[in-house]
Amino acid sequence: MDRDTYDKGMKIRRETLGDAYVDKAMAGVDDFTRELQEMVTTYCWGEVWGREGLDRRTRSIINIAMISILNRQTELGAHVRGALNNGVTRDEIKEVLLQVGIYGGVPAMVDSFRTAKAVLADIDGEGE
Amino acid sequence: MDRDTYDKGMKIRRETLGDAYVDKAMAGVDDFTRELQEMVTTYCWGEVWGREGLDRRTRSIINIAMISILNRQTELGAHVRGALNNGVTRDEIKEVLLQVGIYGGVPAMVDSFRTAKAVLADIDGEGE
Amino acid sequence: MDRDTYDKGMKIRRETLGDAYVDKAMAGVDDFTRELQEMVTTYCWGEVWGREGLDRRTRSIINIAMISILNRQTELGAHVRGALNNGVTRDEIKEVLLQVGIYGGVPAMVDSFRTAKAVLADIDGEGE
Amino acid sequence: MDRDTYDKGMKIRRETLGDAYVDKAMAGVDDFTRELQEMVTTYCWGEVWGREGLDRRTRSIINIAMISILNRQTELGAHVRGALNNGVTRDEIKEVLLQVGIYGGVPAMVDSFRTAKAVLADIDGEGE
Amino acid sequence: MDRDTYDKGMKIRRETLGDAYVDKAMAGVDDFTRELQEMVTTYCWGEVWGREGLDRRTRSIINIAMISILNRQTELGAHVRGALNNGVTRDEIKEVLLQVGIYGGVPAMVDSFRTAKAVLADIDGEGE
Amino acid sequence: MDRDTYDKGMKIRRETLGDAYVDKAMAGVDDFTRELQEMVTTYCWGEVWGREGLDRRTRSIINIAMISILNRQTELGAHVRGALNNGVTRDEIKEVLLQVGIYGGVPAMVDSFRTAKAVLADIDGEGE
């Protein structure tokens, strides 16, 4: 792994998903998951999120769409939160998920709205 | 079907995919495919693409990502062309597909680049 | 959205999934999920379930098969209940899921039987 | 493999997909594909299609829905032809594919209509 | 169902997934799930796992990869345990899941590591 | 990108897929596909295939299984050839694909056998 790319990736990962989320992921690192964390940070967050060609708002929007289609609810929840951190509005998340419904089908849309709504409720609860 | 939504959808569909593409789709309409065309035009293009909440550039970017994950190469080709019509650049399409590789895996990325590259070659050939 | 199609869809949706289920879905409607509910009711339940060409029993059978393949367990549970409401028998649900196993693979079959069995147990418990 | 189940399966397979199709599949059998053909005939056609609990029309309808979602166009083509052999009408195939569009998304619907339409054109051409 | 194949399958199933797991599955058998259990045991464990051409270690490795891609977490957990019973090491499971990340994407990898880690923690707890 | 990992990846990629295949891929590189090739070579072939924990035979077997499930026929063809280069036998490829049939369903198995058989026929033809 290239150290500079790892460091760049860790910075973007923390800015997107939040320190609380990343601290928790890193605290659980052991021999079984060490390379997982390195690969995600370097390859996903450093190499691709670190590229100039699209802003983070757009990358977050793309992720919500793709991860909805992929049916990965835990990851979707993290990226809904990340999208808000990157400046995507709640209305824009709604628009993405309605478009998911057309291209990925109604069950994908319904599941993704359920996950997103739970994240929004958590965030609203944290503010109280 | 609501006629106004159909008409709005047909306009957006033509502006995105091009008259040549839509004329060809509509010319083949028969009893077997009539409702298919009506449903796609009304719900997909009228109800969702016709909404205000995201601009067409962003909707095209989302579609390239989703349809890559869904592994539907013919539709992907049409939406690569549509993305260019909607103002997405070739470099931005490349960025979306690199991000597809991270979240949807290398075979999805390789197939989508192959499809996109063929569309770009067609377009360049048309200009000659 | 076309109001007549929405109303027709809401009627079919309630007859299939049950008032309790739909009331709960509609009670949670807010700015984030309003269009979701409208789109599902109009497009899914009004436009397609409202068509004449297949009876509701057959549409329920198709849904159990498709949603099993799509791996959407919450939706599958709702449609197992809906299938029973539409006159599909428990033995027929079993047959559909065995066929899912052949075409969609053993893990899809096992997961779908697990979900369906839990729904049947709930229904049996409600009758007590 | 159980010989009786194999024989039962071969009979149903031939009645559904047609002798021409099955003869071609069996003619190509070699050491690489022998078990493939045995497994498909015995488990898929003998064990599951050979069960009493659903009639063949319904099993064909389910298959068109599932294989559309699974995005396997060659198999879909064979089962569109099989559905017609089993008494499913062209209008019913259309209804199944419209329902695929709602639950599996527009690209799945469009691809499946394209495949089905090509099969119908072939059949119409054969009659000439 | 062929009785010999069923018996052979049941033996391999028990040796792989463990008696506790299989006893629990079989104890829940009723009219709804009887054929499910027979089909899984005969077809999956007898016909395919019972073949000579690959050793059980390799079959377990393949299953972890496939079931990760298929996004079936409950089945994945059972097969992580089965892999260990069949002699696959924890380090080898890690390697398979890193390869899943490249070909199936980061969300598939992250989910599968989460499931596998929970199984390993359970096993370590059982030993206390 | 880390140059050493790229070089290591290119070596493994060439040894697995063959110089003819890789030369063709690299000859087509332009501004649109440059990063695609770099990312595939570095992360896929360098970072993951370059790891010690599994031998190449096993990695090839895993890939055939995963790419069959993912329904990416062009990539599957390349990796069937790669598997043979890495010492996997034709009989072992058959075993993997039969196991794909159980877990991923019959259409996945049938498509993958079709692709693999075409690759084997090509190879046999090249030897003439």
Name which of E6, E31, E35, E49 to mutate to probe chain D: the one with the most chain D Cβ atoms within 10 A of its Cβ.
E35
Whether the pLDDT of residue B56 is over 70: the answer is yes
CATH 3.65.10.10 applies to domain F54-128: no
Name which of E66, E99, E102 to mutate to probe chain B: the one with the most chain B Cβ atoms within 10 A of its Cβ.
E102
The pLDDT of B28-47, averaged and rounded, is 96
> Per residue in C69-108, is it b (16+ CB within 10 Å) or e — as a string?
bbbbbebbbbbbbbbbbbebeeebbbbbbbbbbbbbbbbb
Could you tell me if D35 lies within 8 Å of chain F, comparing CB atoms? yes
At D126, the pLDDT band (50, 70, 90 cuts) reads confident
Averaged pLDDT of chain A: 96
> Nearest by CB to E113, which of A33, A43, A72?
A33
Please, what sign has the CA dihedral across residues C53, C55, C60, C61? negative
Name which of F54, F67, F98 to mutate to probe chain E: the one with the most chain E Cβ atoms within 10 A of its Cβ.
F54
Residue A72 in tokens: 């990965």
The amino acid that residue F91 corresponds to is: D
**Residue A25 phi, psi dihedral angles, 5° rounding:** -60, -45
pLDDT, tens only, D84-108: 999 999 999 999 999 999 999 999 9
Residues of C in contact with B39 (CB under 8 A): 47
The pTM score is: 0.97
Torsion region of F2: left, alpha or beta (phi above 0 gives left; psi -120 to 50 gives alpha): beta
Q: Do E104 and B105 touch (CB under 8 A)?
A: yes
DSSP B56-97: HHHHHHHHHHHHHHHT-HHHHHHHHHHHHHTT--HHHHHHHH
Taking only Cα atoms into account, the Rg of chain E, rounded to an integer number of angstroms, comes to 15
Q: How many CA atoms lie within 13 A of F31 on its CB side?
A: 6
Averaged pLDDT of chain B: 96
CA distance from start to end of chain C: 42
For D45-114, the three-class secondary structure string (H helix, E strand, C coil) is HHHHCCCCCCCHHHHHHHHHHHHHHHCCHHHHHHHHHHHHHCCCCHHHHHHHHHHHHHHHCHHHHHHHHH
Cα D57 from Cα D49, distance rounded (Å):
11
Whether the pLDDT of residue C65 is over 90: the answer is yes
With tokens 């949670």, the residue in question is: C28
D80: Cβ contacts below 8 Å, ≥ 6 apart? D64, D93, D115, D116, D119, D120
Cα E35 from Cα E22, distance rounded (Å):
15
Q: Nearest CA to CA, how far is E123 from chain A (Å)?
A: 14
> Nearest by CB to D70, which of C54, C69, C94?
C69
Q: Are D1 and D38 in contact (CB under 8 A)?
A: yes
Residue C104 in tokens: 């969609």
Q: D-E interface: how many C-beta pairs under 8 angstroms? A: 13
Q: Do A98 and C67 touch (CB under 8 A)?
A: no
* Helices and strands, counts by H and E, chain A: 7, 0
Please choose, from the candidates F53, F84, A47, the residue with its C-alpha nearest in 3D space to the C-alpha of residue E97: F53
How far is the CA of A35 from the CAs of A1, B100, E83, in angstroms? 10, 21, 21
Taking each helix axis as running N to C, give the angle between helix A73-85 and helix E106-126, from 0 to 180 degrees, rounded to the nearest 10. Answer: 120
**Residue D36 phi, psi dihedral angles, 5° rounding:** -55, -50
Q: Work out the number of other CB atoms within 10 angstroms of the CB of residue C53.
A: 17
Percent of chain F past pLDDT 70, that is, above it, reads 98
The amino acid that residue B82 corresponds to is: G
Q: Do C106 and F103 touch (CB under 8 A)?
A: yes
Could you tell me if C27 lies within 8 Å of chain A, comparing CB atoms? no
pLDDT, tens only, D63-84: 999 999 999 999 999 999 999 9
pLDDT, tens only, E6-37: 999 999 999 999 999 999 989 989 999 999 99
> Nearest by CB to F107, which of D28, D36, D72?
D72
Whether the pLDDT of residue E42 is over 80: the answer is yes
Q: Nearest CA to CA, how far is B97 from chain F (Å)?
A: 9
At E117, the pLDDT band (50, 70, 90 cuts) reads very high
CATH 1.20.1290.10 in chain D, residue ranges: 54-128
Residue E115 in tokens: 């499931």
E strand map for chain A: none
Averaged pLDDT of chain C: 96
Q: A-E interface: how many C-beta pairs under 8 angstroms? A: 45
The pLDDT of residue B1 is 67
Residue C66 in tokens: 């498709």
Could you tell me if F2 lies within 8 Å of chain A, comparing CB atoms? yes
Cα B42 from Cα A102, distance rounded (Å):
11
Could you tell me if E108 lies within 8 Å of chain F, comparing CB atoms? no
What are the contacts of F70-73 at 24+ separation with CB within 8 A? F70/B71, F70/B105, F70/B107, F70/B108, F70/E69, F70/E103, F70/E104, F71/B71, F71/D70, F71/D71, F71/D72, F71/F108, F71/F111, F72/B71, F72/B107, F72/B108, F72/B110, F72/B111, F73/F111, F73/F115
Could you tell me if C2 lies within 8 Å of chain B, comparing CB atoms? yes
A26: Cβ contacts below 8 Å, ≥ 6 apart? A37
Residues of B in contact with A104 (CB under 8 A): 66, 70
Please choose, from the candidates B103, B81, C59, the residue with its C-alpha nearest in 3D space to the C-alpha of residue A61: B103
The pLDDT of B22-26, averaged and rounded, is 92
With tokens 């359920």, the residue in question is: A114
Percent of chain B past pLDDT 70, that is, above it, reads 98
Q: Do B1 and C47 touch (CB under 8 A)?
A: yes
Q: Are C62 and D65 in contact (CB under 8 A)?
A: yes
How far is the CA of A111 from the CAs of A117, A119, C72, C107, D58, in angstroms? 10, 13, 8, 20, 28
pLDDT, tens only, A42-71: 999 999 999 999 999 999 999 999 999 999
The pLDDT of residue E73 is 98
Q: Do B36 and D105 touch (CB under 8 A)?
A: no
**Proportion of chain B in helix, strand, coil states, percent, rounded to 5:** 80, 0, 20
Greatest CA span in chain F, whole angstroms?
A: 43
With tokens 């008409």, the residue in question is: B7
pLDDT, tens only, A81-123: 999 999 999 999 999 999 999 999 999 999 999 999 999 999 9
Q: Work out the number of other CB atoms within 10 angstroms of the CB of residue A25.
A: 18
Please, what sign has the CA dihedral across residues D114, D115, D116, D119? positive
Cα D106 from Cα B66, distance rounded (Å):
11
Q: Are B59 and A61 in contact (CB under 8 A)?
A: no
Q: Are F50 and F5 in contact (CB under 8 A)?
A: yes
Could you tell me if E61 lies within 8 Å of chain A, comparing CB atoms? no
Q: Are F87 and F16 in contact (CB under 8 A)?
A: no
Residue E44 CA from chain centroid, whole number: 11
Name which of C71, C102, C112 to mutate to probe chain F: the one with the most chain F Cβ atoms within 10 A of its Cβ.
C102
Could you tell me if F28 lies within 8 Å of chain C, comparing CB atoms? no
Taking each helix axis as running N to C, give the angle between helix F73-85 and helix F106-126, from 0 to 180 degrees, rounded to the nearest 10. Answer: 50
Whether the pLDDT of residue C38 is over 70: the answer is yes
Cα D40 from Cα D46, distance rounded (Å):
9
| DSSP designation for B50 | T
Map residue E29 onto helix, strand or coil.
coil
Cα D21 from Cα E101, distance rounded (Å):
39
Q: Do C32 and A90 touch (CB under 8 A)?
A: yes
Whether the pLDDT of residue E128 is over 90: the answer is no
Q: Are D123 and D84 in contact (CB under 8 A)?
A: yes
